[in-house]
């Protein structure tokens, strides 16, 4: 994958699924096969967020770092901004949101999923663990995915919390392409991008980048029983 594709700066590696949802060219058919299999099992598997550009990720980051959007703690509760040092703010954001240029959503291989049929009427999708864990309205979908998604090449890179990114039961990844994409993604690539763009907290990010790279970019769960 080209460096500009890895960092969400171009869309040449993508194809449209529907409306505003774009995937990597080679992921569309495997996802459609997974979606069809889910449908046969009684689920309406949809993507809430597919490809996300560098600019979109930068806006998410800057809105949180700049105080325009709430930063959540590890229990998904808003933190009091006045009590946070810049360093605390940096790692609190990284718990839930990737650095611009370092999001797996840039690759077109990773998506946030849900069951549109099970989302209650008038309820907005939150992408919170309570929706996906036992007792939540997407729990049955998660149980089905655990048993079946590996057959289509998908897995959960954030299945469990490992001291970096939060557990995200909604985030699935297409292993045959996301694995080499991560291997191609290096520290110098993200450093150059942060330096050259208007990213809030830039100097602190650059100072902490070796640890961020190790703990929040490379620190993922290994796939289980991938057959692709």
- Residue entry with tokens 């980048």: 209
In this predicted model, what pLDDT tens digit does every residue of 164-199 receive, in sequence order? 999 999 999 999 999 999 999 999 999 999 999 999
Q: What is the mean pLDDT of the chain?
A: 95
- CA dist 64 and 66 (Å) reads 5
CB 132 within 8 A of CB 113: no
Q: Other C-beta atoms within 10 Å of 64: how many?
A: 22
SS3 labels along the chain = CCHHHHCCCCCCCEEEEECCEEEECCCHHHHHHHHHHHHHCCCCEEEEECCCCHHHHHHHHHHHHCCCCCCECCCCCECCHHHCCHHHHHHHHHHHCCCCCCCHHHHCCEEEEEECCCCCCCCCCCCCHHHHCCCCCCHHHHHHHHHHHHHHCEECCCCCCCCCCCCCCCEEEEHHHHHHHHHHCCHHHHHHHHHHCCCCCHHHHHHHHHHHHHHHHCCCCCCCCCCC
pLDDT at 38: 98
State what percent of residues in the chain have pLDDT above 90. Answer: 90
CATH class given for the domain over 3-217: alpha beta
Which residue reads 């299999």 in tokens? 37
What tens digit of pLDDT does each residue of 28-81 get? 999 999 999 999 999 999 999 999 999 999 999 999 999 899 999 899 999 987
pLDDT at 82: 73
154 pLDDT higher than 90: yes
Inter-residue contact 55 to 197 (CB < 8 Å): no
User: What is the number of other CB atoms lying within 10 angstroms of the CB of residue 74?
Assistant: 12
What is the reported pLDDT for 227?
A: 54
Compute the average pLDDT of residues 157-162. Answer: 97
What are the b/e assignments for 120-137, b being 16+ CB within 10 Å? eeeeeeebeeebbeeebb
- Whole-number pLDDT of residue 83: 80
pLDDT the model gives residue 81:
76
pLDDT tens by residue, 7-19: 999 999 999 998 8
Domain coordinates of the chain in residue numbers?
Answer: 3-217
Q: What are phi and psi of 22, to 5 degrees?
A: -125, 145
Instruction: Give me the pLDDT at residue 28, please.
Output: 97
pLDDT tens per residue across span 101-110: 999 999 999 9
Alpha-carbon gap, residue 150 to 3, rounded angstroms: 28
Number of Cβ atoms within 10 Å of the Cβ of 17: 20
pLDDT of residue 175: 97
């Amino acid at each position: 994958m080209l460096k500009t594709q890895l960092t969400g700066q171009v869309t040449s590696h993508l194809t449209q699924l529907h409306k505003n949802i774009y995937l990597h060219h080679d992921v569309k058919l495997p996802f459609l096969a997974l979606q069809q299999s889910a449908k046969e099992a009684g689920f309406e598997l949809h993507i809430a967020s597919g490809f996300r550009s560098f600019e979109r990720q930068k806006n998410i980051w800057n809105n949180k770092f700049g105080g325009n959007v709430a930063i959540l703690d590890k229990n998904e509760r808003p933190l009091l901004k006045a009590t946070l040092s810049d360093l605390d703010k940096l790692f609190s954001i990284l718990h839930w949101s990737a650095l611009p240029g370092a999001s797996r959503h840039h690759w077109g291989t990773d998506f946030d999923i849900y069951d549109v049929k099970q989302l209650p009427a008038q309820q907005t999708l939150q992408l919170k663990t309570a929706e996906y864990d036992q007792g939540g309205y997407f729990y049955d979908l998660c149980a089905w995915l655990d048993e079946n998604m590996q057959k289509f090449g998908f897995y959960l890179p954030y299945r469990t919390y490992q001291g970096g990114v939060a557990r995200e039961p909604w985030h699935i990844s297409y292993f045959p392409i996301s694995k080499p994409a991560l291997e191609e993604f290096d520290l110098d690539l993200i450093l150059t991008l942060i330096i050259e763009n208007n990213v809030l907290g830039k100097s602190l990010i650059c100072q902490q980048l070796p640890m961020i790279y190790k703990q929040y970019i490379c620190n993922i769960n290994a796939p289980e029983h991938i057959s692709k």
